[in-house]
Amino acid sequence: MKHWQRAGLLFILLLITACQPQQTSQPLHQQQLFTFGTLIDITLVSNNPQQAQQAIDELSTEFDRLHELWHPWEGGALARANQQLSSSVTFATAPSVITLIQQSQQLSKQSDGLFNPAIGQLIKLWQFDQLDNESFQFQLPEPDAIKTLVHQNPRMTDIIIERSQDSEPRIHSINPSVSLDFGAFAKGVAIETMIRKLKTRNIHSALINAGGDLKVLGTKNGTPWRIGIKNPEYSPKPSSNPVLAAIDLHNEESLFTSGNYERFFEFQGQRYHHIIDPRSGYPAKGTRSVTVLAKDAGLADAASTALFIAGPKQWPDIARKMGIDHVMLVDEDNRIYLSPAMAQRIELLTTAQAIIVK
Ligand code: AMP
Ligand code: MG
């Protein structure tokens, strides 16, 4: 996402929260971090400024550490693991990488393989590792190269975790085309980790917001955290509303959105976005954005990506398999689909009629 887009989203969020009645019992401490490859806004409610600052500093250090550990190709534990996965060697890796693998194996299975962090080679083939490189000349991948990788069928179950009592767990891959990219999951797991850290520090009212992917703790001085959801078809015209919907979040709720407008390149007038359908090897078709509300931020993150790929027809089935009740999907024709539970919670700020799918 470009910086101005992120800044726009923050503005939307502040605008909505500014409309709340102010019950100023405890001050808000807000800080914006550039970490984890994105802008992260932290809001803590606390009477103790020193406690709040120490917590924010800890979160900043921890976000930096996890970003390095979990980056798929830049020098940390996951990048080293990716080099070794293409051979059949068995090796030890960071415990947190093992945990990511284990959780992803489960989520990938629940999503019928649509959420598939084993497709790192496909993501590289599409050059999505270059999206932040402004001078990069994007090309379309060779169709044969896409076909070959899809045929090689890298899956999370291709990674075998070996545990023994007296040494650390070790892993190996039974498929050399496996390369791990946790871009659809790591932000959620990191936010979940940070929320746990805040609770350990006795902070029970907070919002951690990574450009619209977020989790809340407690309330904002007695009122729920009111969040704006970006309109995926927004263009800077007077008739276009940048906010599609608003929702009140309660203690420990997470809200994650996957959108085709977030990261993409253009080639010969066509847009190619960053969410790949592992069945075709091409960017998933049919969806503009999916928003998922769930308690666990890692689950919300993985599910928003899986349901984006599932698309307007298949999402209710995959949502059920992943245990997700609250979904909003906007399709390519801007039709809005809501699960019944989401319809109960969300406030649409558009005249369009939503379709409630049971
Ligand atoms: P998100 O914005 O959470 O939907 O995550 C999108 C990111 O996840 C992409 O930038 C890729 O790094 C990665 N990704 C793309 N397609 C998939 C997929 N089918 N399964 C898992 N991760 C994916
Ligand atoms: Mg995701």
> Which residues are within 8 A (CB) of 201 and not within 5 positions of it... i.e. 6 or more apart?
51, 54, 55, 58
Q: Is the shortest distance between the CB of 263 and ligand 1 below 6 Å?
A: yes
Q: How far is the CA of 188 from the centre of ligand 2 (A)?
A: 7
Q: How far is the CA of 28 from the centre of ligand 1 (A)?
A: 33
Q: Is the shortest distance between the CB of 117 and ligand 1 below 6 Å?
A: yes
Q: Which atom of ligand 1 is nearest to the CA of 309?
A: 19
Q: How far is the CA of 117 from the centre of ligand 2 (A)?
A: 10
Neighbours of 282 (CB within 10 A): 16
Q: Which atom of ligand 1 is nearest to the CA of 181?
A: 12
Structure confidence by residue, pLDDT tens digits, 209-253:
999 999 999 999 999 999 999 999 877 676 678 999 999 999 999
Structure confidence by residue, pLDDT tens digits, 152-177:
999 999 999 999 888 889 999 999 99
d(CA 181, CA 112): 18
Q: How far is the CA of 47 from the centre of ligand 2 (A)?
A: 34
Q: Is the shortest distance between the CB of 292 and ligand 1 below 6 Å?
A: no
CA distances 337 to 217, 243, 257, 331, Å, are 27, 16, 14, 8
Q: Phi, psi at residue 233, to the nearest 5°? A: -105, 15
DSSP class per residue in 228-259 = EEE-TT--SSTT--SEEEEEEE-TT-EEEEEE
97-126 residues labelled b (16+ CB within 10 A) or e (exposed): bbebbebbbebbebbbbbbbbbbbbbbbbb
Q: Is the shortest distance between the CB of 120 and ligand 1 below 6 Å?
A: no
Q: How far is the CA of 116 from the centre of ligand 1 (A)?
A: 8
Whether this model's pTM surpasses 0.85: yes
Q: Is the shortest distance between the CB of 113 and ligand 1 below 6 Å?
A: no
d(CA 159, CA 85): 8
> Which residues are within 8 A (CB) of 40 and not within 5 positions of it... i.e. 6 or more apart?
32, 33, 34, 63, 208, 209, 210, 211
Q: What is the residue-level pLDDT of the chain in tens, covering all 358 positions?
A: 444 454 444 444 444 444 454 555 899 999 999 999 999 999 999 999 999 999 999 999 999 999 999 999 998 999 999 999 988 899 999 999 999 999 999 999 999 999 999 999 999 999 998 898 889 999 999 999 999 999 999 999 999 999 988 888 999 999 999 999 999 999 999 999 999 999 999 999 999 999 999 999 999 999 999 999 999 987 767 667 899 999 999 999 999 999 998 899 999 999 999 999 999 999 999 999 999 999 999 999 999 999 999 999 999 999 999 999 999 999 999 999 999 999 999 999 998 899 999 8
Nearest residue (CA) to ligand 1, atom 8: 184
Token duo for residue 283: 């960017």
